Amino acid sequence: MIVAEGLAKHYGKVTALDGVDLRVPAGTVLGLLGPNGAGKTTAVRSLPPLLRPDTGRATVAGHDVLRDPAAVRKVIGLSGQYAAVDEHLTGRENLDMVGRLFHLGGKASQARAAELLERFDLVDAADRVTKTYSGGMRRRLDLAASLVARPQVIFLDEPTTGLDPRSRLGMWDVIRELVREGATLLLTTQYLEEADALADNIAIIDSGKLIAQGTANELKAQVGGERVELVVADRSEVPKAVAALESLATADPVVDEDTHMVTVQVSGGTRALADVVRELDTAGVVAQDLAFRRPTLDEVFLSLTGHSTEEGS
């Protein structure tokens, strides 16, 4: 549904995009994951297209974005990083305006606006100017505005940045529903758990380059086996625990002194967990908390880029 090849964009000496290939099959969600300034927004903006890449080509729903942008605009919905709603118009007026600009006609625009207000839980606020809306409400209205013409392809640029946790979960529900209805989504985020929760495929971007691509499972498999996390009662127990597990660890254990937590990378699935318990028992270490888990995307990102998502590039 979305195919991009070799997208590159330079601003003076700054390279925003450095040859990015993207592929989003119909009905799937691609999460474009990366820190601030990695090139996510530039990549998304070159597809509707709001900016012209220096090199590279792309098609959306079969339409070439550079040769036939008008055809692309008819089948897409875009929700940018800032809730792009007119703050002096009401929620209803905002949606109605977008419908009319899609040439749906007056009646259909009004009906569609009412439908979307209902769906996005904005009925009570529908006739208030959006200046009075909370951040979460504005984002929902902005997303609603991008859905007015029932687009086949939806671009969401950091849809939950700046939202409180509850609004974020609400937004996730809405996005999941879109996917269930068959939409194709390109979603950017700097939150790993968001990509994990919403995307079928994840593309990790850093400094304008794609550095890894695959499902969350594939990416996690790239950084080795499972992790065992254990918390001991006292700081003095930490070295004992580390020593006990040394023989099982497939990489250097990670120690968090403040929480007395030791994270050990192991292989062999749950059998390794049994070994861990046995070794701890032999060494006389009692764990307060013991967890067995697969690597997080945080760990994936760290191992691929050498820095975490929060630090930026």
Contact 2, 185 (CB under 8 A): no
Query: Which residue, 82 or 256, has its beta carbon nearer to another protein?
Result: 82
Query: Which residue, 52 or 235, has its beta carbon nearer to another protein?
Result: 52
CB of 60 to another protein, least distance (A): 12
CA 63, CA 29: separation in Å to the nearest integer? 19
Query: Which residue, 71 or 255, has its beta carbon nearer to another protein?
Result: 71
Query: Which residue, 48 or 170, has its beta carbon nearer to another protein?
Result: 48
CB of 243 to another protein, least distance (A): 55
CB of 275 to another protein, least distance (A): 54
CB of 109 to another protein, least distance (A): 9
Residue type for 258, please?
A: D
- Which chain residues interact with another protein by CB under 8 A? 45, 48, 50-52, 70, 73-74, 76-78, 80-89, 93, 97-98, 100-103, 129, 145-146
CB of 84 to another protein, least distance (A): 3
CA 46, CA 56: separation in Å to the nearest integer? 10
Query: Which residue, 24 or 98, has its beta carbon nearer to another protein?
Result: 98
What is the 3 state secondary structure string of 39-105?
A: CHHHHHHCCCCCCCCCEEEEEECCEECCCCHHHHHHHEEEECCCCCCCCCCEHHHHHHHHHHHCCCC
What tokens appear for 161 in the block? 């940045």
Q: Quote helix, strand, coil % in the chain, to nearest 5.
A: 40, 25, 35
